[in-house]
Structure 1
Amino acid sequence: MTDTFDPNLREAPSPLSETLGFDMTDWSEGYARVEAPIAPHLMNRQGLPHGGVYAAILDTAMGFCGCFTGDPKIKQNALTLSMTVNYLARATGTHLVAEARVTGGGRSTFFAKGEVRDDTGTLIAEATGVFKLRSRK
């Protein structure tokens, strides 16, 4: 977690994020970072993190990057309309770090780009996505 991340803005993780071990470690206007340990339950039959884990952590980070309100009483949600993931390397570290940024959009949709690296700095996967904003709660 960064020194600028207000812990009061942290939302409880979804059941899926909790199961996968995802932890939001930074969140601000147009930006989100989600981290996860590389754990045995995330591995595929080759002993590598499953590609779906990379897609899920990227989807989570990109979805959050466009939903920041700055007020813990106002929750903004989004639905993923489309997402493309490019797998570039295999993880050799012990931890995944996904960062995402809003790249454009309008009143009801936004575009985002994300990347996931392991703790050695290796770029593992990149993604782009389109997200539909839902009514604020």
Structure 2
Amino acid sequence: MTLKEEGPSGFQQLLGYELSEWAEGQAVLELMVEHKHTNRAGVLHGGVLATLIDTACGFSATYCPFPGRVRRVVTLSLTTNFTGQVRHGRLRAVARKTAGGSRIVFCHADVLDEGGKLVASGEGTFRYRSGSEHSEGVAL
């Protein structure tokens, strides 16, 4: 399953992030920072960073190599740490699945600016939706 088969979500279209890498246990999202992503101080809004962490982590837990099938999770908890500021440029949210069982999984993500500086990190706990706990997922 590739994201092209599923199509972008409305929220993905709104923010403009792209899934640039996806494999079992890992995912990378990219976002070009635009004015619409900034807060009143002109820096990237923390909510955008939290979204990138949540979404990249979710993708890292839901890779499905079977065409026409999909895996999904729901977020149970999300912890974010903001370590820098960004005004422009391309961000990369690099996530990996770190542990888990048959229904609950744990993931970590780092968000890096285009110079490779860490601007945020976080951990998430996710629960697989019915059928998604298996690598073959469910029909799209």
TM-score w.r.t. the length of structure 1 is 0.90
RMSD (Å) for aligned C-alpha atoms: 1.2
Distance in 2 (alpha carbons) for counterparts of 1:26 and 1:116: 14
Once the two structures are superposed, the pairs formed by residues 96-135 of structure 1 within 5 Å of their partners are: 96-135=91-130
Distance in 2 (alpha carbons) for counterparts of 1:91 and 1:131: 28
Q: Residue in 1 aligned with 2:53?
A: 58
Task: Indicate conservation of the 8 Å contact 1:93/1:119, yes or no.
Answer: no
Q: SS state of the match for residue 54, structure 2?
A: helix
Task: Indicate conservation of the 8 Å contact 2:43/2:86, yes or no.
Answer: yes
Unaligned runs of 5+ in 1: 1-7
Alignment partner of 2:42 out of 43, 47, 57: 47
Alignment partner of 1:86 out of 46, 56, 81: 81
Task: Indicate conservation of the 8 Å contact 2:94/2:109, yes or no.
Answer: yes
Q: Deviations over 1:99-118 (max 9, x none)?
A: 10000000011000001011
Q: Does 1:68 align with 2:85?
A: no
Query: Bigger CA drift: 96-105 or 11-20?
Result: 11-20
Alignment coverage as a number of residue pairs? 130
Q: Which runs of 4+ in 1 moved over 6 A?
A: none
Task: Indicate conservation of the 8 Å contact 1:94/1:118, yes or no.
Answer: yes
What percentage of aligned pairs have identical amino acids? 35
Q: Residue in 1 aligned with 2:30?
A: 35
